[in-house]
């Protein structure tokens, strides 16, 4: 009996020692200042972002992080840069009133109609274009001077190519190949690949392109017309996109490609199908450094990309390093936040706040797959946005005392904040100006500006970009309200918002650390160029912030 009691006592002492040791280790582990990594089974925001525990002393950057300014791109056309409504035929100068608005954005996706570059087969024009008399040299030069990145999207069939189709099938959104050819054969897309070569040779960064391969139509169209001149390596364009929404399920078969057919198309566009189309075909043939962006996918189905990669494996093989020889550098999709289901094509009835849409889920599917590829290509969203007309199933809505325009502004800024949380590297909004003002259909009134005048969405982007465009997303420390943490060179900024569309508000106590005696709170203001700054005292480094569905920004004042 005594032996049994003695054994029991020893076991109790051992258990106590184990508990004390465990608690001691736990205490010292919690004294670390490193950031705690999120776990997949923890709390999440409505859009699926996992919450991390904040460590106020941690201002480290995440691997492969990008600055917030990359989330503020815009879709635009050449006439947005050059055409003054008061002088519509004057296209040789930048329309400065519009340019002032465009400078609110960090990047521009240029809807570049192939017919502008090659109005007649084999004859290329840029400055001016034979079709429309636009000056691309001027636009791209000014954008570079202003620090605006340009994504040139070569899209639509030129008239001479469209005319190869029977009259009942003619559509400038047809597959970019002559009628009747095999859409699964890269050589079918040789015409487009040669145009891509010419564009990359002119606007890329390779000054050693064989000049005898570069062509322009130098014939003047009339007396005193400015002739086009051959130029190479102008160093103005780093990114080019191969067409637009080649998975358009809503149009005729003549406009559609399978993933395998589009991969064949992109293989020609990328590098002339590994050089098999000759020394004057493909972007990389002219400028190996130019990045080729996949045409934005409208279906948002990551399986499209998987099938393209498999086509590349079978038809382009492997590089010397053992990786699949891909026909793209950037994965790209389009998604508009609404109450429909893009994966099943269930029709939407209204736009919704980004956090309440499928945006996070869709982004995660692409980013997760991209990270399984050896190249880890970036994932971009080159079209998203909201209409302001109430007849659109993509509309922003009035909420409480907020107008439709203010809701559009809230949701657009929150879309950028959502996508950077989910690992998207660039976002472009559709579009600078309304397509057809005062028309009650989808995508007619998605403009972030009117002629030479910003809408609140552009005001919010400008203010946020100016305040913290160089900051990078680090973590999300609260779900509702959403509290995101951004860092830049040792500095920390918090962005707070209610992820809803009911006009909700909440108080949130933010811990800025004991050294923070004061806090700067920055509020957005429609119609202004800069945020409104308010400085308040903290209580032991903590500040209580009134949070609404409009993002608010907070930092330690010291």
Going from N- to C-terminal start, the domains of the chain cover 68-474
- Residue 26's pLDDT is 37
pLDDT tens readout for residues 469-522: 999 999 999 999 999 999 999 999 999 999 999 999 999 999 999 999 999 999
Decide if pLDDT at 24 tops 70.
Answer: no
pLDDT tens readout for residues 75-107: 999 999 999 999 999 999 999 999 999 999 999
pLDDT tens readout for residues 439-455: 999 999 999 999 899 99
pLDDT tens readout for residues 280-318: 999 999 999 999 999 999 999 999 999 999 999 999 999
DSSP string, 332-368: EEE---BSSBTTTTBPPSSB--GGGSSHHHHHHHHHH
Measured between alpha carbons, how far is 336 from 296 in angstroms, rounded to an integer? 12
Residue that is written with structure tokens 């029991």 in the block = 8
- Residue 201's pLDDT is 99
Q: Which residue has the higher pLDDT, 323 or 59?
A: 323
Measured between alpha carbons, how far is 58 from 38 in angstroms, rounded to an integer? 14
Helical spans, DSSP H, in 146-189: 159-162
28 HSE (CA, 13 A, CB side): 5
- Residue 19's pLDDT is 37
Decide if pLDDT at 5 tops 50.
Answer: no
- Residue 41's pLDDT is 58
Choose the weakest-confidence range: 60-64, 178-182, 334-338, 441-445: 60-64
- Residue 6's pLDDT is 44
CATH architecture, domain defined by 68-474 = Alpha-Beta Barrel (3.20)
Decide if pLDDT at 190 tops 80.
Answer: yes
């Amino acid at each position: 009996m005594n032996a049994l009691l003695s054994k029991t006592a020893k076991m109790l002492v051992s258990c106590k020692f184990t508990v004390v040791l465990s608690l001691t280790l736990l205490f010292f582990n919690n004294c670390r200042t490193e950031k705690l990594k999120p776990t997949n089974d923890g709390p999440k925001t409505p859009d699926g972002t996992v919450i991390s525990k904040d460590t106020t002393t941690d201002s480290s950057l995440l691997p492969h992080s990008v600055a917030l300014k990359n989330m503020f791109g815009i879709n635009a056309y050449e006439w947005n840069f050059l055409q003054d409504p008061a002088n519509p035929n004057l296209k040789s100068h930048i329309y400065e009133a519009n340019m002032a608005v465009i400078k609110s954005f960090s990047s521009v996706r240029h809807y570049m109609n192939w017919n502008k570059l090659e109005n007649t087969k084999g004859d290329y024009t840029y400055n001016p274009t034979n079709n429309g008399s636009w000056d691309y040299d001027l636009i791209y030069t000014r954008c570079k001077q202003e620090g605006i990145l340009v994504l040139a999207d070569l899209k639509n069939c030129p008239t001479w190519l469209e005319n190869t189709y029977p009259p009942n099938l003619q559509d400038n959104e047809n597959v970019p190949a002559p009628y009747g050819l095999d859409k699964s054969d890269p050589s079918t897309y040789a015409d487009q690949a040669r145009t891509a070569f010419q564009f990359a040779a002119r606007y890329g960064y390779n000054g050693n392109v064989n000049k005898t391969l570069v062509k322009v139509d130098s014939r003047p169209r009339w007396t005193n017309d400015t002739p086009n001149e051959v130029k190479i390596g102008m160093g103005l364009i780093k990114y080019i996109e191969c067409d637009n929404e080649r998975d358009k399920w809503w149009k005729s078969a003549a406009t559609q490609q399978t993933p395998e057919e589009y991969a064949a198309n992109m293989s020609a566009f990328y590098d002339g199908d590994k050089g098999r189309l000759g020394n004057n075909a493909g972007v990389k043939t002219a400028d190996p450094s130019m990045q080729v962006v996949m045409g934005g996918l409208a279906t948002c189905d990551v399986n499209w990309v998987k099938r393209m990669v498999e086509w590349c494996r079978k038809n382009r093989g492997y590089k010397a390093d053992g990786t699949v020889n891909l026909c793209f550098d950037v994965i790209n999709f389009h998604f508009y936040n609404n109450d429909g289901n893009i994966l099943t094509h269930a029709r939407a009835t209204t736009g919704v706040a980004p956090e309440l849409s499928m945006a996070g889920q869709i982004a995660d599917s692409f980013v997760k797959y991209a990270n399984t590829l050896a190249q880890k290509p970036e994932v971009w969203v080159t079209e998203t946005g909201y209409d302001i007309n109430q007849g659109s199933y993509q509309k922003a809505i009035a909420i409480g005392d907020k107008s439709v325009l203010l809701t559009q502004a809230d949701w657009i800024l929150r879309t950028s904040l959502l996508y950077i949380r989910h690992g998207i590297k660039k976002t472009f909004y559709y579009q600078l100006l309304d397509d057809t003002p005062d028309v009650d259909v989808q995508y007619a009134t998605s403009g972030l500006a009117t002629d030479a005048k910003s809408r609140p969405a552009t005001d919010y982007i400008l203010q946020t970009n100016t305040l913290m465009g160089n900051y990078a997303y680090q973590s999300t420390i609260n779900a509702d309200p959403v509290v995101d943490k951004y860092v830049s060179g040792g500095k920390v900024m918090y962005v707070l918002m209610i992820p809803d569309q009911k006009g909700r508000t909440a108080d949130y106590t933010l811990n800025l650390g004991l050294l923070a005696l004061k806090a700067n709170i920055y509020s957005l203001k429609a119609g202004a160029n800069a945020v409104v700054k308010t400085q308040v005292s903290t209580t032991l480094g903590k500040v209580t912030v009134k949070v609404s569905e409009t993002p608010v920004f907070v930092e330690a004042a010291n």
